Structure 1
Amino acid sequence: MKQSTQDLTRSLGAWRLWTLLGWLEVRQRYARSRVGPFWLTISMGVMIGSIGVVYGTLFGQSMREYLPFLAISLVMWTAFSTTVTEGAMAYISSGQFIRQASTPKLIFVLQVVWRNLVILAHNFVIVVLLLAVFGVKSWETLPVFLPALVLYMLNAMWITMVVGLLSARFRDLPQIITALMQMAFYVTPILFKPASLSRFTFVVEWNPLAYLIDLVRAPLIGQFPSAQTWGVCVAMAVVGWLLGLTLTGRYLKRIPYWV
């Protein structure tokens, strides 16, 4: 673990590098586009509007309540799932650079996390607009969103560390992770509210991703995250980071040979 901790410290110290690389990747995706990265916002807005009308009608929900719930859920889930699925390719896609230059390896994990934070910032415009249109439920809970977001991304980061390392060794894993994230989307309360599963509450109660989504969603819809939600998310972060640093420290020197 000592090696991985040192690598993490060096990676954080090279923040100019991974922030620049992450930002350049976002810009390159939309080179010569007048709207640029805000195409992400437009596509997300269209998806939220179409899903909101259809599922809100099917579930008999008030649009005033359902659209902000859906928008926050989808925006935050997209940030998490994209970070994890792209994180599986963090070392593989940077293999040429890893083989040619001696740099801290966790830079490539931080690059993925930062890139998706930039995209989250663009998509979060939709949440702000909906809160402005339908009104903020509680100004007291809004400040809780910031520490909740930090804890949310810390959990996304340790998962990225683990899947990135394992995917470098086992090349079939990125496809498996993508399939698992798609499956998790349907069993996590994103399109539906947790209370709607009256007979199958265990789907939410035993789903750790449900607690992560609730952690960042609750403050924005006027609720304080429960003590259980905080406890589960903190426990996941502590155990996950210990696991991620342990695995990274053990196999750090093998990454150039795997990629």
Structure 2
Amino acid sequence: MSVMSAAEQEQAPPPPPSTRSWSRAREDIVEGFKQRELWGHLGWQDIKQRYRRSVIGPLWITLSMAITAIGLGLLYSQLFQATIPTFLPYITVGFIVWNFINGCITEGTDTFIRNEGLIKHLPAPLTVYALRTVWRLTLMFAHNLLVYVVILVIFWGSLTTSDYTITDGGNPQPGIGFGILLAIPAFVLLAVNGGWVAILFGIISTRYRDIPQVINSLISLLFFMTPIVWTTDILTQRLPGSGDSDWKVLIAELNPLYHYVQLLRAPLIGNEQSWHHWAVVGGFTVVGWGLAFVAMRNYRSRVSYWV
């Protein structure tokens, strides 16, 4: 009887692989990056669909950014008694970078919810839909860079002057030089972070539909708490208190989004480069992708049911 039992066990089919598998999660992420033609096409179609039948099409992205940045730049330059040739580029680039970060967070929560139809009918890795979101935001970022180019041409003399200041009495900045090339790896690092944000927040929001509402409610507060329309110089100059002012700068330093914004803004406007911005963003990149990998391992197979 034991012989028959052994024979039956040899002929029995192997047990089905567990849906919670590290290998499946890794395969989903790797295959998602490989299918760049798919998520590249889908992201481009999103832009075309949004501005279909529009006269100037995607240029509305650029025009909207220009109006917002210039309007608030002129306003806050007067409130903070700052010089327009250096403060306006600071705010403009801050808005451009923030718009990308904000999109990765808010649209990342809707990544899988928005692609419900494709997820249920298209046999593609879930990572494809996260990369679709990041690619769409990258195209919008490229359109917004036209505003930066115009601002750069207008205020080139001020931004290339050595030891220029953003606000009166602020820290001197080296000015635009070869360090502007650091903007390329800085944006790549931001886009890589956008990938894990879309995956992790997308999975959580698919399960708990209140999460997108919570994030949308907090994002405005995070905007004003991040040095975009104000500088860290203002903290040390305007806040009351005597003695060491390092604690005032911690108001900005303890905000992770500040490091993300400054990582890309600093080289674009010739601000002083700081290694600790790269260290903070690099640390969040490793931790973020680790959490996204765990989420993919545990809940990848359930997303199609949750949507």
TM-score range with shorter-chain normalisation?
over 0.9
Runs of 4+ off more than 4 Å: none
Cα offset, 1:186, TM superposition: 0.6
Q: Distance in 2 between matches of 1:8 and 1:253?
A: 14
**Structure 1 Cα separation of the partners of residues 117 and 197 of structure 2:** 23
Structure number with bigger Rg: 2
Aligned to 1:196: 234
Match of 2:193 among 137, 155, 162: 155
* Structure 2 residue 104 is the aligned partner of structure 1 residue 83: yes
1:141–1:223 CA contact under 8 A, matched in 2:
no
Quote the offset at 1:13 in angstroms: 1.4
Query: Which position in structure 1 is the counterpart of 2:245?
Result: none
- Could you give the per-residue CA deviations for residues 156-211 of structure 1, whole angstroms, max 9, x where no partner exists? 22122111010000011111111122111010000001121124322201101101
- Structure 2 unaligned segments of length 5 or more: list them: 1-21, 161-175, 240-247
For each residue in 1:183-241, what CA deviation from the matched residue of structure 2 results, as whole angstroms up to 9, or x when unmatched?
A: 11010000001121124322201101101111001101213431111111111111111
Contact 1:148 1:215 (8 Å CA) reproduced:
yes
User: How many residues were matched structurally?
Assistant: 259
Which one has more relative contact order, counting CA pairs under 8 Å at least 6 apart?
1
Deviations 1:12-34 (A, max 9, x none): 11111111111111111111112
Aligned residue number for residue 224 of structure 2? 186
Q: TM-score, normalised by structure 2?
A: 0.82
Matched, 1:177 2:215: yes
2:257 equivalent to 1:209: yes
Looking at structure 2, the residues matched to 194 and 157 of structure 1 have their Cα atoms a distance apart, in angstroms, of: 29
Please tell me the root mean square deviation across aligned C-alpha atoms, in Å.
1.2
More helix by share: 1
Indicate whether 1:256 and 2:256 are aligned.
no
Corresponding residue SS for 2:178? coil
Gaps of 5+ in 1: none
Give the SS at the match of 1:102.
coil
Which residue of 1 is the match for residue 180 of structure 2? Answer: 142
Following the alignment from structure 1 to structure 2, what is the Cα–Cα distance between the partners of residues 61 and 228? 27
Identity percentage of aligned residues: 32
The DSSP-based 3-state class of the residue aligned with 2:52 is: coil
